[in-house]
Structure 1
Amino acid sequence: MRHARDGATAAMNAASQVLAARGKAEPQEFDNADVQWATRARDGVWAPTRDRQRIHVGIDCPPDRAATVLRPSLRVFVGIDVDTDIVAQTTADGIRLVTVVHGPEAPTSFRFPVGLAEGLALEAMPSGGFDVVNLRYGATVGRFYTPWACDSLFRPLAARWELDGGAIVMRLPHEGAAYPVVADPHYGI
């Protein structure tokens, strides 16, 4: 297993190259007091909804995966699976779980268990994302945007969400890709 600091550096370098190439349309890192990260990947993050409730998003991985905290708004979870790291970023309106796949042995699906406050539900959108809906008012109070992904040659890959019980699963086919591959699951209000 890679050393945590070396792994964090490799994940950050891969993510930075792709995010810089994508430009200013990407959500920027922001120190958002409404977002609370746990120290372990499995315990995830608590993020706000537009109606001032909170959702919980976990990362399905071994229970001992601790964060390498680079700044309060940026952390790296190294080795969440074979050849896979997550660069977790706080944004002004939510979170990003930038998934970095370093090789062909990495999985092609990633589970993010979602805990919703009472009265909230996930609703699939035609775009491929999921809205967090307040059932009482029928209003969208948060959104899991459709994930995008590309390889190190900036070729797009067909990342998509699926709902599996209480988890959103990102499917990331990366066969034949140039590594590292970067995928960007993003939640915001």
Structure 2
Amino acid sequence: MKSLPTEGFPARAYPTRAHAKKTLIFAAIAALTITASTLTATPAHSAGVGAGSTGSGGVDAAGVEQILRQAGAVADVAPPSRSKLAMPDDAATAQAPAVTSGARVSLKTGLTIPTGSNTLSITPVPVAGSAKALSPSGLAVYANTADSSFALSTSSTGGNAGYAVISGPDAPISYRFAFMVDGKPAVLRPAEGGGIDVLSAGGTLVNSVVPAWAKDATGAAVPTSYSVAGNILTQNVAHAGAAYPVIADPRVRCDRLWCTLELTRGETAALAARVLNVGGACAILGGGAPVCAAVLAGAWAQASLALGSGQCIGFRVWKANFVSYPHLAYIRCYA
């Protein structure tokens, strides 16, 4: 059986003794370079506040990034610019076009995601905080309350997503995000399975948000759900009694050219057990749903392998051609 492409994970290798020695030398040089860069680097982004700074009011952007990294919510990943088609029966292989998501993060405009002929923008709506700063890796971090913050990321750190970072029991239970399409308020509509469809003011489906999830410092799931009002998506997180910090993450499925179905651990386990409703899981991919369902229906073996390595199954389609370039991949489990 052919191995699936791994997005965001380096291939495992068994180096020779000489190669290991070279690797240790390279690692030492890299560590010195990183240390020097930390001491001398100038801000890599321009939005009024330097990367990694605390910003006005003291938002700890570096600390928020560290929480998200420790939780596995964000990590430096290489965008899957070229991925081989990996059908369950190895019937065919093909090369997908080299593309990037085109998503950007700015403290002023939030997370901006080109989606075909439209542009989706997402910004957090803080309760009281006004401080904001870019983290060392470019996450846009916004103060909310003394015990909570927001962060925005792109696919270069794992997903085009907004995060609520909850640090203590006095933090709010509701976190709001404003959605705009082409500069106008979006229309948000609950979708089958718990996600949210994002439409333009004219009713065109532009993108979708994956079902709500949240987890605490131990990795345990925290009860959470969405509610919508106009162009405001609110994620409600019942974090009382949880181990802090708690993170929650509304993330979107599509970018400029690709739509990705990311199965959770539970969905991957259901797929491995051949009880996943593949039609319902793939529905969000629109025209790519039939191909997705056909591929997932036979991917139970890959799902078992993914679970065994602590990963989940993803299915990616090129929006311009749903048939020629679909592929399965092992991905980091976002929930």
In structure 2, the CA distance between the partners of 1:176 and 1:115, relative to structure 1 (3 Å rule), is same
Corresponding residue for residue 11 of structure 1? 64
TM-score scaled to structure 2, two decimals? Answer: 0.45
Corresponding residue for residue 75 of structure 1? 139
In structure 2, the CA distance between the partners of 1:139 and 1:182, relative to structure 1 (3 Å rule), is same
The structure with more helix, counted as a fraction of residues: 2
The alignment partner of 1:34 has SS state of coil
Identity among equivalent pairs (%): 22
Gaps of 5+ in 1: none
C-alpha displacement of 1:63: 7.0
Given that 2:222 and 2:238 are in contact with CA atoms closer than 8 Å, whether structure 1 keeps it comes out as yes
Paired with 2:135 and 2:246, the residues of 1 have a C-alpha distance of 22
Structure with the greater alpha carbon radius of gyration = 2
Quick check: 139-148 or 152-161, which moved more?
139-148
1:113 to 169, 178, 196: 178
Corresponding residue for residue 37 of structure 1? 105
Paired with 1:116 and 1:134, the residues of 2 have a C-alpha distance of 6
2:230 to 165, 170, 182: 165
1:56 and 2:109 equivalent?
Answer: no
In structure 2, the CA distance between the partners of 1:122 and 1:94, relative to structure 1 (3 Å rule), is farther
Quick check: 4-13 or 158-167, which moved more?
4-13
2:189 to 116, 120, 123: 123
| Root mean square deviation of aligned Cα | 3.3
Whichever residue aligns with residue 64 of structure 1, its letter is: S
Given that 1:97 and 1:185 are in contact with CA atoms closer than 8 Å, whether structure 2 keeps it comes out as yes
Given that 2:112 and 2:119 are in contact with CA atoms closer than 8 Å, whether structure 1 keeps it comes out as yes
TM-score scaled to structure 1, two decimals? Answer: 0.76
In structure 2, the CA distance between the partners of 1:29 and 1:12, relative to structure 1 (3 Å rule), is farther
In structure 2, the CA distance between the partners of 1:129 and 1:27, relative to structure 1 (3 Å rule), is farther
In structure 2, the CA distance between the partners of 1:17 and 1:36, relative to structure 1 (3 Å rule), is closer
In structure 2, the CA distance between the partners of 1:94 and 1:48, relative to structure 1 (3 Å rule), is farther
Gaps of 5+ in 2: 1-52, 80-99, 255-335
Whichever residue aligns with residue 64 of structure 2, its letter is: A
C-alpha displacement of 1:39: 2.1
Whichever residue aligns with residue 55 of structure 1, its letter is: L
Corresponding residue for residue 90 of structure 1? 154
1:185 to 222, 227, 250: 250
Paired with 1:165 and 1:121, the residues of 2 have a C-alpha distance of 6
Corresponding residue for residue 65 of structure 1? 131
CA shift digits 1:23-75 (9 cap, x unpaired): xxx99575x562233324xx4222122x321122111125732222423xx31
The structure with more strand, counted as a fraction of residues: 1
C-alpha displacement of 1:135: 8.4
